C-alpha cells in the first residue's frame, strides 16, 4: 500500500469516526460545536483524542485509524462522555 493510499484510509476513517461521535452528543454539545467550529486531535501514547473546544469527542487507537476494515460500529473506539465515564467507575 502506498503512503497516499494509507493517508486516504486514515482520512476516511477519521471523518467517519468524528461524524459518528458528533452524532452521539447531546443537542447542547452539538450547538456548542456549531457555534465554535474546529476539531483538534492530540496524540496520547498509542491513541488519538479528538476535541471540539473542551469537549472530548472520541479516543481511538492510532492503528485503528489506519485499518482499511475500520467499522465505526464495531466498538474499536471510545466516545465521550458516556463511555469514558464508564471506564472511570
Per-residue pLDDT of the chain (89 residues; tens, 9 = 90+): 899 999 999 999 999 999 998 988 889 888 988 888 889 999 999 999 999 888 888 898 888 889 999 888 876 666 655 554 444 44
Q: Across-strand partners of 44? A: 47
pTM of the predicted model, to two decimals?
0.77
Amino acid at each position: 500500500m502506498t503512503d497516499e493510499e494509507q493517508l486516504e484510509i486514515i482520512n476516511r476513517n477519521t471523518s467517519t469516526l468524528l461524524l459518528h461521535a458528533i452524532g452521539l452528543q447531546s443537542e447542547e454539545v452539538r450547538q456548542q460545536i456549531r457555534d465554535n467550529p474546529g476539531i483538534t486531535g492530540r496524540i496520547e501514547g498509542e491513541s488519538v483524542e479528538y476535541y471540539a473546544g473542551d469537549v472530548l469527542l472520541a479516543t481511538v487507537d492510532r492503528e485503528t485509524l489506519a485499518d482499511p476494515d475500520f467499522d465505526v460500529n464495531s466498538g474499536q473506539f471510545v466516545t465521550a462522555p458516556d463511555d469514558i465515564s464508564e471506564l472511570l467507575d
